[in-house]
Amino acid sequence: MPKDTLRITEIFYSLQGEGKTVGLPTTFIRLTGCPLRCGYCDTEYAFYGGETRSIDEIVQQVKELGAHYINVTGGEPLAQKRVHELMKTLCDAGYHVSLETSGALDVSGVDPRVIKVLDVKTPASGEMAKNRHENYDCLTKQDQVKYVICDRDDFQWSKQHLQEYALSDKCEVLFSPVQGELKASDLANWVLTDKLPVRFQIQLHKYLWGDEPGK
Pick out the residues of the known binding site for [4Fe-4S] cluster: 34, 38, 41
User: Binding site for Mg(2+): what residues are annotated?
Assistant: 43
Helix 184-193 / helix 152-164 crossing angle, nearest 10 deg:
40
User: Binding site for substrate: what residues are annotated?
Assistant: 15-17, 30, 73
3-state helix/strand/coil string of the chain: CCCCEEEEEEEEEEECCCCCCCCCEEEEEEECCCCCCCCCCCCHHHCCCCEEEEHHHHHHHHHHHCCCEEEEECCCHHHCCCHHHHHHHHHHCCCEEEEEECCCCCCCCCCCCCEEEEEECCHHHCCHHHCCHHHHHHCCCCCEEEEEECCHHHHHHHHHHHHHCCHHHHCEEEEEECCCCCCHHHHHHHHHHCCCCCEECCCHHHHHHCCCCCC
User: Binding site for S-adenosyl-L-methionine: what residues are annotated?
Assistant: 40-42, 75
C-beta of residue 113 within 8 angstroms of C-beta of residue 92: no
Instruction: Centre a 10 Å sphere on the Cβ of residue 197 and count the other Cβ atoms it contains.
Output: 12
User: Binding site: what residues are annotated?
Assistant: 15-17, 30, 34, 38, 40-43, 73, 75
